[in-house]
Amino acid sequence: MGTGGIAAGGEQVMTALKEEFDAAGIKDATFIENCKLHKVGCRGFCARDVLVDVTIDGETSTYQYIEDNMVKRLVSDHVIGGEPVKEWLVGDDYHTFHDKQKKIILQDLGKIDPESIEEYLAVDGYKGARKALSEMSPADVITTIKDSGLRGRGGGGFPAGVKWSFCAGTEADQRYIICNADEGDPGAFMDRSVVEGNPHAVIEGMIVGAYAIGASIGYVYIRAEYPLAVDRLHTALNAARKKGYLGENIFGTDFNFDIKVKLGAGAFVCGEETALIASIEGDRGMPRAKPPFPANKGLWGKPTIINNVETLANIPPIINKGAEWFASIGSETSKGTKVIALTGKIRNTGLIEIPMGMTLKEIIYDIGGGIEDDRLFKAVQTGGPSGGCIPQQFIDLPVDYEGLQSIGSMMGSGGMVVLDETDCMVAIAKFFLAFTQEESCGKCVPCRLGTKRLLEILTRITEGEGKKGDIELLQELAEDVRDSSLCGLGMSAPNPVISTIKYFRHEYEAHINHKRCPSKTCNALLTFFIREHQCVGCGMCVRACGVNAITGEKKQPHVIDQNTCIKCGACFDACKFDAVLKE
């Protein structure tokens, strides 16, 4: 019952299960004791939603692609009859998807009801916060986080414990801690899923962080576009207050702390910490120059710590199990795990958690199941719209902060978009530039105008109007925008351009010099025609064409008038017989 599951029909399946249980009299049946139906957060394997577990006597069977019209048989055959419906069960790839993962953040997402504080307590919830407040000093907590090697999971990878120590060491009569849940990367859904599936883990992490730095007020900055996450967050906060885990004298100590929720309007730039602070203060979300850094002078001029959802959710297990345990996971410089939204041209899309240092090849082929339709792997985009495109030659690269940076990409918040041979790298760079250009706040000239000029050049190239010198102009302009922009959005916006020129320059040259798109993606550079021997004269292409460029008698081969054709590709998409070709 995360957003993906609900979109696939999870609510209808849940309703059907309740109705079927009532119809079967299961609640009063003596032959089924302790029968319970409950919802959980994201299960990770989003490609197979709706997922349903049936557990009887400790044996769990997992079903995939469940719809409400399948529920009657599921209940009668398995819940009541004890016989699993074998043709609906997940296959070996489901287990392969999970077996190579190392779950810390996602460990309980598919097990507990996110709206039940009791179920969170049953998996040692709030144990870490109680331990920190009752048995450790604030300095001890900061030392533990430092020793664990935890780095911020929001993009920059700055050591969390060091950041906390800066804030705690700044003299002030008030300090704040902010959870940045304003995840806005295209194809990213890590933080949203954690808040939807286990909001108490984030709240507990904020309690520990607030205690460590001496903050009495916290904020969760979350975009209003995440209504399910917002609702579950409010439910969790209210439950925590009723238990006495928020408010005054938490766990019987003299520590007072509470959390407020601030809804963002969906501006990507508000993921930048100074723009986020401006938004909470009631101003337009625009970044400011640093220093001073928020840890020294942040919200309303007071020392402020800003960590993202994943960073904060790591805090309770570190306090519970110790710094040495966490530091034993991952690579030499990047400790712990990373939650990744695995999307794109891959068989097993979903939410995964891997130990830092796992290779791209393991992620894409072992967990992701390889490229869909058995096409060739071409590249992977990491770090969201501000990341870089990594080509096939680096398929064995370990995924950690230094590894990705060494080849011109970045970890970012954890988005990973897999591309295959049908993807045009010039068009990919254009897609991400279009996003960052639209999301630029406009405060500084390099980002406001530089991204616009970059997008104009890329658009021109994909429309067959590229000219000699465009590649060099793109490189020069990209470096200027990167080096002179005010905040991280502008500094990293040119990364898709820089990386695609570096590793796929030949595609740019083909577009400019030969007016050809090697991947057959840029319609303006293609010619559409119909193969006579394969056309059955069904007329689908005629009806799809908006400019009447296709003619032909019914049940006779059709023809495209090249002088009229606007190369929109509608005929190619409409043809069911592969008769329309593009060259």
pLDDT of amino acid 27:
64
Lowest-pLDDT range of 34-38, 39-43, 337-341, 385-389:
34-38
Cβ contacts of residue 227 below 8 Å, gap of 6+? none
Structural contact between residues 309 and 195, judged by C-beta atoms closer than 8 angstroms:
yes
pLDDT, position 188:
82
With 50 as the cut, is the pLDDT of residue 583 above it? yes
Count of CB atoms situated within 10 Å of the CB of 256: 13
Pairing of strands 59-63, 176-181: unpaired
Give the closest residue to 130 by CA, choosing from 261, 238, 234, 240: 240
> 423-462 burial, b if ≥16 CB within 10 A, otherwise e?
bbbbbbbbbbbbbbbebbbebbebbbebbeebbebbbbbb
Measure the CA angle with vertex 401, ends 395 and 406; round to 5°.
Answer: 60
pLDDT band at residue 184, thresholds of 50, 70 and 90?
confident
Quote the CA–CA distance of 274 and 283 in Å, as a whole number.
11
From CA 52, how far away is CA 177, in angstroms rounded? 37
% of the chain with per-residue pLDDT over 70? 99
Lowest mean pLDDT among 13-17, 99-103, 182-186, 379-383: 182-186
Beginning with the edge strand found earlier in the chain, give each strand of the sheet holding 415-420 in spatial order. 350-355, 337-344, 415-420, 377-382, 388-391
* Band (86; pLDDT cuts 50, 70, 90): very high
* Residue 398 CA neighbour count, 13 Å, CB half: 14
Helices 445-462 and 495-513 meet at what angle, rounded to 10?
30
Say whether pLDDT at 411 is over 60.
Answer: yes
CB 416 within 8 A of CB 382: yes
β-pairing, 176-181 vs 377-382, is unpaired
What sign does the dihedral 356-357-360-364 (CA atoms) show?
A: negative
Q: Is residue 30 very low, low, confident or very high in pLDDT (cuts 50, 70, 90)?
A: very low
Mean pLDDT for the chain overall: 93
> Is residue 391 very low, low, confident or very high in pLDDT (cuts 50, 70, 90)?
very high
CA–CA gap between residue 452 and residue 385 (Å, rounded): 15
* Per-residue confidence (pLDDT) for residue 384, from 0 to 100: 81
The H-or-E segment that residue 220 falls in is strand 217-223
How far apart, in Å, are the Cα atoms of 203 and each of 187, 197, 261, 339? 25, 13, 11, 18
Distance of CA 62 to the CA centre of its chain: 24
Report the length, in residues, of the chain.
583
pLDDT score recorded for residue 199: 97
- pLDDT at position 29: 46
Cα–Cα distances in angstroms (integers) from residue 134 to residues 126, 127, 249, 250, in the given order: 12, 10, 11, 10
pLDDT of residue 33: 58
- pLDDT tens digits, one per residue of 494-529: 999 999 999 999 999 999 999 999 999 999 999 999
Q: At 85, give phi and psi (nearest 5°).
A: -85, 95
pTM equals 0.92
The string of pLDDT tens digits covering residues 354-365 is 999 999 999 999
DSSP 224: T
Does 386 score more than 90 pLDDT?
Answer: no
pLDDT above 50 (res 434): yes
Which of 179, 205, 200, 215 lies closest to 306, judged by CA?
179
Crossing angle for the helix pair 138-148 and 199-213, to the nearest 10 degrees: 120
The residue type found at 314 is: N
- Here the tokens at position 254 are 């003299």
